[in-house]
Structure 1
Amino acid sequence: MGLLFETHEGLIAKLEPTWRDHGLSGLEMNALQRLSRSPGRRLRMVDLATQTGLSTSGVTRLVDRLQRNGLVVRETDPADRRNTYATLTQEGDARLGQALPEYRAAVQHWFIEQLPPDQLDSLLAALRILRDALRPEATAIT
């Protein structure tokens, strides 16, 4: 477990400047990426909480920050007012677009290029098995 924690901390240390230089936290970067890949560039708040591993109050605070910065808006489902969505704004999409090239380059260098392709494939397969066992609610999320 120590090796896993050390690896995670090392990767975060290498990736953090790529989102911090664009005024984002890692959690904010994660949320913006998930919203950008979702249909209509939006997710129900409960689904965003599940995908980010946050509690409902945690995702509320995250979306509050993103909304204050003009990166997302909240929208109520007119068909079911119990559902609230976080929707990526044009400003949020632009901020993400500015950060992504540097972020992707860092992921490529510090994660993908560190392993031969067969080892990377094996690692990803093993991580999916662990994720599916530990977070079954996240298995629909790839």
Structure 2
Amino acid sequence: MPDELADRLRGSGYRLTPQRQLILRAVEDLGHATVDEVLAQVRTQASAVNASTVYRTLEVLEELGLVRHTHLSDRAPTYHSANEPEHFHLVCRNCQRVRSVEPDVATALVATLRDDHGFAVDLGHLAIFGHCVHCDSADLEMESP
């Protein structure tokens, strides 16, 4: 990946820096991570990196198609590597568990939105909120007499 990263950066007028390499590696290692989580991971190897560097670098990496972001809460965006297979997210509002779901699960919805509404869905940015089966069953048990 360092060669691909270097090529993409140079092709867009950027330099390959150790901080950019560390930040991309942190996103890849963490799976789904907020800026604060990426910063904490990077600081284990380079304590001089600050939050603004992480924010700017993630913007550049997303512009280059190396990372993607979605909103898995009402807070900061969560980043993941663009090397992961395309997926969308199911987020439990109760336990905050996040599940990645393959795009073929949404085939009918994507087709309907395209055909009936002329809309192309960006599944990688999609997060669907609700309650997981475990939390739903726990809620049902609490409501039972």
TM-score, structure 2 as length reference: 0.41
Which has the larger share of strand? Answer: 2
Which structure has the bigger radius of gyration?
Answer: 2
What's the TM-score once normalised by structure 1's chain length? Answer: 0.42
